[in-house]
Amino acid sequence: MSTYMLTLFFCSLSFSQSDWKPLFNGKNLSNWEKKNGEAEYHITDGAIVGTSRAGTPNTFLCTKKIYGDFILELEVMVAPGLNSGIQFRSNSIKEYRNGRVHGYQSELDTSKRAWTGGIYDEARRGWLYPLTINPKGSAAFNNGAWNKVRIEAIGNTIKTFINGIQCANLVDEMTSEGFIALQVHSIKDKTQEGKTIQWKNIMVVTENLEKYQTDNQPHAKQVSFLDNQLTQQEQRKGWRLLWDGKTTNGWKGDKSDAFPENGIEIVDGKIHFLKHQKSANFKRSGSIVTKERFDNFELEVDLMFQKGGNSGIKYFVDALTGGDGKNIGFEFQVLDKNHPDHNLGVQGNRTFGSLYDLIAAENLSEISRDDIRANGPGRWNRARIIINGGHVEHWINNIKVVEYNRFSQSMKNLINKSKYNKHKGFGVGANGRILLQDHSPGDVWFKNVKIREF
């Protein structure tokens, strides 16, 4: 290479690198401040070292500067057995839980669960992107060694990478800016006290982001929390809104050709089955169903119930070979644990996420965990139902909770022992409608109803 070309190369490299700024000068923490907990941070060999401490809540070392759109790169080493995370677009205000740090977190997970690079909404909505849906990303983290972390937060799109492997691909609009923070998680096991998390080479770029942003890697499924709208990637994958968020188009009463006039409302992009009133003037809406019929599909629905709530999402409705099947079908159970039905049925087959009265929901994504990570009353949950031929899956918040073959001998046996045995052809129809259930006591909400067919 000529001296002239070499000079041009290094000038270009210098200009490119000048967009990146250090968040840590390697000497002191003058641009950082500690919030919430009492874990200690110090500097060793040019790295920030956080030390776990018993008897204190989560501790966060936060940048004093606020960041909106950015790309962050750093190296991290976490002692095996600890949990940690990198907060971004996070905030701490007195009006919210007396200053509790809250916002997006790129997980650092040394457990067998292996969700490093997943996105957790700290002190707010919980898991937005667990790595149950990204096995390749889940395998990217090297336990007990230095790992390179990259976080891209540009507009409503958030991506995370561990050692160059994409882990999360999230679309969300809840928070557009906030500080960046290094977490030392609280510990319950005293034997973990004194273990450390280390961060070094912390660099951020906020200008000319289009030059540095990374293309999506095919294995990283996109998860969107946009209300009643599809991303370009979802549209390319064949998704469409099954409910448009505004009108009654495509839906009708389960026993009528018209949409119900009472007991239901469409408000702020949500379908709301009203709370049932003990009044002569109150009229229930009854359940609503799609006018279309479906066979092989993936369905996503966001839902919320109140304390004691009871509802359901049914599929293969109106698919019997004999009798009235207008509201009969397999049911993804939606039920609060405070409802009397929660303890009925057989071995939990009426709990949230269960195949109602047939198969109990359980955590199939985390072998060592029993609960299904469902959110309780007054909080949104995302239900997903996948049907491909005979194969059926139920998911809650990206945790698989039910899996079965609707044509199998074991399913036939379950049906024969259930209340469905009197319905001829139950569960084996070629196609059917999708139903959102109006069940006592009402006050159940649905939004973001979307589907893609196979």
pLDDT score of 367: 81
The residue whose two tokens read 């740090």 is 101
pLDDT score of 17: 62
pLDDT score of 5: 43
Instruction: Enumerate the β-bridge partners of residue 169.
Output: 159
Average pLDDT score over residue span 418-438: 95
pLDDT score of 294: 98
pLDDT score of 8: 40
Q: Are 321 and 424 in contact (CB under 8 A)?
A: yes
DSSP secondary structure string for all residues of 290-358: ESS-BSSEEEEEEEE--TT-EEEEEEEET--SSS--TT-SEEEEEE-TTSGGGG-SSTTTTSTTSBTTT
pLDDT score of 40: 96
Average pLDDT score over residue span 322-341: 93
pLDDT score of 12: 41
- CA dist., res. 393 & res. 93, Å (int): 41
User: Are domains 19-224 and 233-453 of this chain identical in fold?
Assistant: yes
User: In this predicted model, what pLDDT tens digit does every residue of 194-221 receive, in sequence order?
Assistant: 999 999 999 999 999 999 999 999 999 9
| DSSP 8-state secondary structure symbol assigned to residue 221 | -
pLDDT score of 176: 98
Average pLDDT score over residue span 69-88: 97
Res. 16 pLDDT band, cuts 50 70 90: low
> Please, what is the average pLDDT of the chain?
94
- CA dist., res. 161 & res. 352, Å (int): 33
Percent share of the chain, pLDDT over 90 = 91
Average pLDDT score over residue span 245-258: 96
Q: How far is CA 49 from CA 42, 163, 429, in A?
A: 5, 20, 60
Reply yes or no on whether the pLDDT at 1 is more than 60. no
Average pLDDT score over residue span 387-407: 97
The torsion angles phi and psi of 442, rounded to 5 degrees, stand at 80, -155
pLDDT score of 119: 98
Percent share of the chain, pLDDT over 70 = 96
User: In this predicted model, what pLDDT tens digit does every residue of 437-452 receive, in sequence order?
Assistant: 999 999 999 999 999 9
pLDDT score of 322: 85
Q: Which CATH architecture has domain 233-453?
A: Sandwich (2.60)
Reply yes or no on whether the pLDDT at 6 is more than 80. no
Between β-strands 147-154 and 179-184, what pairing exists: parallel, antiparallel or unpaired?
Answer: unpaired
Average pLDDT score over residue span 235-255: 97
Average pLDDT score over residue span 32-58: 96
Q: Are 124 and 59 in contact (CB under 8 A)?
A: no
Res. 3 pLDDT band, cuts 50 70 90: very low
pLDDT score of 345: 87
Domain extents in the chain: 19-224, 233-453
- CA dist., res. 204 & res. 99, Å (int): 26
Q: Which fold would CATH assign to domain 19-224? A: Jelly Rolls (2.60.120)
Output the pTM of the full model: 0.93
Reply yes or no on whether the pLDDT at 4 is more than 50. no
User: In this predicted model, what pLDDT tens digit does every residue of 154-175 receive, in sequence order?
Assistant: 999 999 999 999 999 999 999 9
